[in-house]
Structure formats: C-alpha cells, structure tokens
Amino acid sequence: MTGLDLAQAADIFAQAVDHTVGLEEEFALLHPDSLDLIPAYERMHDAAQDDPVLRASVCGELISSEIEIVSGAGANLHDALAHQRDARRHLFALAAAQGVALAATGTHPWADYRQQPIIDTEHYRRVEEGLKYVAWRNNTFSMHVHVGVHDIDRAVRVCDRLRPVLPLLLAISANSPYLDGQDSGLHSARTQSFTKSFPRCGVPDAFGGWGAYRDYIEFLVRTNSIVEFTQVWWSVRPHFRFGTVEVRICDAQTTAAESEALAALMVACVVQAARDIDEGRPFADPAPRLIEENMWRAIRFGLDGKLVDLERGVEYPAREVIERLAAWTAPVRGELGIELAFPERNGAQRQRAMIEAGASREDVFAATVRETTQTYAQEVAV
C-alpha cells in the first residue's frame, strides 16, 4: 500500500488479528575501545545479507551509527520474543565479527550529533529534507512494540485510552541521563530531545474514533504537511501498514530482561485497553495539560519522583506505576500467560547511582555496554 491509502489502511485493520506482536529494538554502533559512535550501519547491513535470520531482521534508523532489529509479526508475545532472541544472538555475533560494540541506552553520553551521517534511503532523505536540524539532532535510541488490533475504529480508541498510560511507561523505561557530554539532570533526555522536538510527536489528541483521525490525516495531506503516515510520530499510533497499535514512548533498555519485561507490559496495556473498550468500561479522556504534567515528571525524575493520579488529583510515588499497571492488566495477562519481572532500579536509576558515587560518564557508559553485551546475546525467560 502507499503511505497514505486510507481506504486500504481500513481494510488492513479489518483483516488484522488481535494480539499479534511485533518488537523493534534500536542499538548504538560503537568503537569497541573508545565506545564512540561509529558510522557502521551500511557494512553491518551488507554483512547481514549472508545471514538468513538477520537478512529479515536488520533495519536502518536515521543515522549510520544506529541499527535496529525487528521480530516481524509474531502470533503472540512469546512467538515474537522467540524470533527477537534469535535475531539478537545473530546481531551480537555479527557485531563482534565486524569489530563493533553495541549499546542500548536512550542516548549516547557524549556523541556530537553534527558528526553523525544520515543513512542514504529515500525515506530518511525525505525526513532530513523536511526537518533539517530536528532530524540531525535526533541521535536517540528507543524500543517500539506493535500489537495487532482488529478494526481501525477500535484501534484509534485504544490509542485514546493509552494516552494517560504513556508517561507511566516512560517512567519505567527511563534510561538516558546523559546528552551532549553532560549529565542532563533528567532521567530520559531522549524524550526531551526527540519527543519535544519532532512535529506531530508526543502524546496525541483524543480522537474518539477513525472518522476524526482520518479527517486529521486528510487535513495533513491536503495542506502538504505530510506525504506518508509515518510522518505522524506520536508516542502511540495506529500503524496503517501492519494493522497494529504501535507504542513508541520508551527508551532503549540496557538489559534484555528489562526490554522483554517492558515489551510484555506494553502488550498487556494495549490488549487491556481493547478489552475495556469491548466491555464498555467508562473512560474520560484526561486533558492534554494533565497528561503533560506526568510526562514532564517522568522525563525529569523517572521512577525516583512522583506522578499524579489524574482521576483523584493526588501525587503518588512513581515506583508504584509498575504495581498499578500490573493490577490493571491482570485479566488479560492471565489469559495471555504474561508475567512481569522488573529490577529494583531501572537503567536511569542505576546510572544515577554510579554518577552520585563519583563515576565518570565513560565508566558509567562502559558499565551499561557490558550489561548489554552480557544479556542480549543470551536467552531470557519472561
């Protein structure tokens, strides 16, 4: 389909199967000694063509010092994880053979964005031409989860229900305290750099259904604002090509176990939101300004701070979001066989503990690279 064939998009969602899952994980490509970013994507991609697993899994993602692996469409979470684990093992073996190290944090601590070339594809040439500095500045690393949702109107309403959940997922995933060579003072500098910079990004409006969403996309096309639907970079969106709801709010995760736990939670949130819609559970869309308050708190303090219960208008410790989301999603998690296991401290908290103990940014980053290397090449049970 073309990027903006809206009738075909509706047809794709009409054929979509609930609970299919696709995983996307982004990694920084590093010099193995200095841990500087290196423009190695093209040779990694070329070498991957000799590997049948990686040939179908490796993708580019804006800059030449970044690589992404995708699971493809799994029948369920466990199927997608099996494919992703296989791709990870092959990716890390290929990287070692190519003399490249891999990192999985939301930002690189000291890389100069002005020195990172954009990969040469039609899509990213269009992104660069359209956004200029905003594209150049986006040296960030994330993880995305796709969940199949039957019916495009239902998918848009699922996105609506996930709006207040996005800051909670961000707080759990926060893993980027450094940016531009300094401690940003934030837990997710990636979100501040990317989500607050790109157009049509962050927490979307509540649309109420496909009709209003379609009107908006048609407005963007009519006014020459976009030429493909992926130029709507919101943190949750219906993906027209795959018939999925795509959740895009989270930082890349340092360890495989954290990535898998976070993916499991995102899948559960999408499925539970759809279940709530099907069962007619009441829901009032919070005002954007209220959700933005929690977004800022998640960016600034992650799990170390407090978030706001938007229904009651009171604060609560951010760490409680894991329990709150676990309780909300318990019905569907039981049916899908999804268990959650998060570490005591997330990536940003572990890095901040090292910073406060006097470790240098180089030592902090080196520790995260070791964690990534030791865990992503191994099988992880969820």
Q: Pull the structure tokens for residue 209.
A: 């259904």
Residue 5 confidence (pLDDT): 83
Is the pTM of the predicted complex or chain greater than 0.85?
yes
In a domain, 368, yes or no: yes
H or E stretch covering 333: helix 321-336
The values of phi and psi at residue 147, to 5°, are: -130, 125
What are the start-end ranges of the E strands in the chain? Answer: 21-30, 58-61, 63-70, 101-103, 142-148, 178-179, 182-183, 201-202, 233-234, 236-239, 244-251, 306-309, 314-317
* Phi, psi (deg, nearest 5) at residue 371: -60, -45
Pull the structure tokens for residue 238: 């219906």
Q: Which distant-in-sequence residues (6+ apart) come within 8 Å of 25 by Cβ?
A: 68, 69, 84, 88, 104, 143, 252, 259
> In this structure, what CATH number is given to the domain that contains residue 168?
3.30.590.20
Number of domains in the chain: 1
Kindly report the three-state secondary structure assignment for every residue of 303-322: HHCEEEECCCCEEEEHHHHH
Does 113 reside within a domain? Answer: yes
Assess if residue 274 is contained within a domain: yes
For residue 48, being part of any structural domain is answered with: yes
pLDDT of residue 358: 96
In a domain, 364, yes or no: yes
pLDDT number for residue 380: 42
Is residue 1 one of the residues assigned to a domain?
no
Output DSSP code: residue 50.
Answer: T
Domain that holds residue 248: 6-376
pLDDT truncated to tens, each residue of the chain (382 aa)? 445 689 999 999 999 999 999 999 999 999 999 999 999 999 999 999 999 999 999 999 999 999 999 999 999 999 999 999 999 999 999 999 999 999 999 999 999 999 999 999 988 999 999 999 999 999 999 999 999 999 999 999 999 999 999 999 999 999 999 999 999 999 999 999 999 999 999 999 999 999 999 999 999 999 999 999 999 999 999 999 999 999 999 999 999 999 999 999 999 999 999 999 999 999 999 999 999 999 999 999 999 999 999 999 999 999 999 999 999 999 999 999 999 999 999 999 999 999 999 999 999 999 999 999 999 987 544 4
What pLDDT does 243 receive?
97
Give Cα 220 to chain centroid, integer Å.
Answer: 24
Asked, for residue 381, whether it belongs to a domain, the answer is no
The CA-based diameter of the chain, rounded to the nearest angstrom, is: 57
197 within some domain: yes
Distance, CA of 48 to CA of 33 (rounded, Å):
23
Rounded distance between C-alpha atoms, residue 254 and residue 104, angstroms: 5
